[in-house]
């Protein structure tokens, strides 16, 4: 049994969350289910100024909560019969269109309902094991509330080939994003990203100590107070597009972590938002066996399309 260390997180309540229940606020901040957060609160794993916190407690702006997430054990990953939207599959790779809301691999607070569990059920032992038993086949990942394409390796040779293409930036990943504000020109954000200094759940642009991160963006369509953009990743840091776009003053619409206070549009159409409006729309790489370049595309989810239509009308 390979047990990982407990994770320690600090959550500071933003102005837009003042007055909310602590379990609801922490659920959004930690990208965990509300029931999982309630279990942490019941176990005394959430404290404020050293004192345990009740799950019915209301929060105030600037409140700081310390959260201790229990360690995840490798042996807890089990196959689950979860439908997959498979765009392509052969003996070497699987390309999956991951839905918004699905976690890629198990993590504290998310041990069930993951893409890995679905892949284990679908492919059985036919997945690479380079990344260990909690990430079989996983070469790269996207955030829980980002939808779109992920390439999965079914054997170690395929995994090594895809990982090498990620490392040398020859794997092309194109995203669609709805950004807040008007973006009139294409551009590039070249700004290093690292773990946030005080909130360990977040990433941030760090000129000192961050890892190189480059994002290219191109406006596709002007919307009412927003812009539909095409994003190309040159590197693949955690939350890269979300951090970079917030850094230049155009956060991704619907982003609960980097977007700040909700926009009037978000407040008007809450049922349409299940996280950030970010979709991994296109994936290109050289096939590990044939040596030919392959490209896969998928349309954004219905709520993303609906939001674009509504913003066209305003």
If you write DSSP's letter for every residue of 190-227 in order, what string do you get? E--EEE-SS-TTSEEE-TTTPBP-EEEEEEEEEETTEE
Give the pLDDT score at 2. 42
Q: Is 143 a catalytic residue?
A: yes
**How many CA atoms does the CB half-sphere of 53 hold within 13 Å?**
27
CB within 8 Å of 299: residues ≥ 6 apart: 281, 305
Neighbours of 156 (CB within 10 A): 12
* Under 8 Å between Cβ of 26 and 9: no
Which one of the listed residues 143, 190, 208, 255 is annotated catalytic? 143
Closest CA to 179 of 223, 216, 147: 223
163: enclosing H helix or E strand: helix 156-167
Q: Could you give the angle at which helices 34-42 and 22-30 cross, rounded to 10 degrees?
A: 120
173 contacts: CB under 8 Å, gap ≥ 6: 140, 149, 232, 233, 236, 280, 282, 283
Domains of the chain with bracketed CATH: 7-69 (3.10.290.10), 74-167 (3.30.2350.10), 172-313 (3.30.2350.10)
pLDDT tens track of the chain, all 314 residues?
Answer: 344 455 777 888 877 778 888 888 887 777 566 777 888 888 888 999 888 898 788 999 889 988 887 654 444 578 899 999 999 999 999 999 999 999 888 766 666 789 999 999 999 878 988 777 777 889 998 999 999 999 999 999 999 999 899 888 899 999 999 999 999 999 999 999 998 888 877 899 998 888 899 999 999 999 999 999 999 999 888 899 999 999 999 999 999 999 989 999 999 999 999 899 999 999 999 999 999 999 999 999 999 999 999 999 77
CB 219 within 8 A of CB 229: yes
Per-residue pLDDT, 159:
92
Q: What is the pLDDT of residue 75?
A: 42
| SS3 state at 91 | coil
User: Is the separation of the CB atoms in 56 and 24 below 8 Å?
Assistant: no
Question: What confidence score (pLDDT) does residue 3 get?
Answer: 43
Instruction: Scan for tokens 């096939």, then name that residue.
Output: 287
Question: pTM of the full predicted structure?
Answer: 0.76
The pLDDT of residue 265: 96
């Amino acid at each position: 049994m390979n047990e990982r260390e407990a994770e320690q997180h600090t959550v500071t309540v933003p102005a837009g969350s003042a007055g909310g229940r602590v379990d609801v606020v922490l659920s959004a901040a930690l990208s965990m289910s509300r029931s999982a957060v309630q279990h942490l609160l019941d176990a005394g794993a959430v404290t404020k100024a050293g004192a345990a916190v009740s799950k019915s407690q209301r929060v105030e702006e600037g409140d700081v909560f310390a959260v201790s997430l229990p360690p995840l054990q490798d042996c807890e990953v089990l196959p689950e019969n979860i439908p997959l939207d498979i765009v392509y599959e052969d003996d070497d790779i699987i390309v999956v269109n991951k839905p918004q809301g699905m976690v890629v691999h198990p993590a504290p607070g998310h041990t069930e309902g993951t893409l890995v569990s679905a892949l284990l059920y679908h492919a059985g032992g036919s997945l690479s094991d380079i990344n260990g038993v909690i990430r079989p086949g996983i070469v790269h990942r996207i955030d829980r509330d980002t939808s779109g394409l992920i390439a999965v390796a079914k054997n170690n040779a395929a995994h090594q080939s895809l990982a090498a293409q990620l490392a040398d930036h020859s794997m092309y990943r194109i995203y669609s994003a709805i950004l807040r504000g008007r973006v009139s020109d294409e551009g590039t954000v070249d700004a290093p990203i690292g773990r946030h200094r005080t909130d360990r759940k977040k990433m941030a642009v760090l000129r000192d100590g961050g890892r190189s991160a480059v994002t290219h963006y191109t406006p596709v369509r002007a919307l009412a107070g927003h812009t539909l953009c095409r994003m190309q990743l040159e590197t693949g840091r955690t939350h890269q597009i979300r951090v970079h776009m917030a850094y230049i003053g155009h956060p991704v619409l619907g982003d609960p972590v980097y977007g700040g206070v909700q926009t009037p549009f978000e407040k008007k159409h809450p049922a349409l938002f299940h996280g950030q409006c970010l979709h991994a729309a296109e994936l290109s790489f050289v096939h590990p066996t044939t040596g030919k370049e392959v490209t896969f595309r998928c349309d954004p989810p219905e709520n993303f399309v609906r939001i674009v239509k509504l913003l066209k009308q305003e």
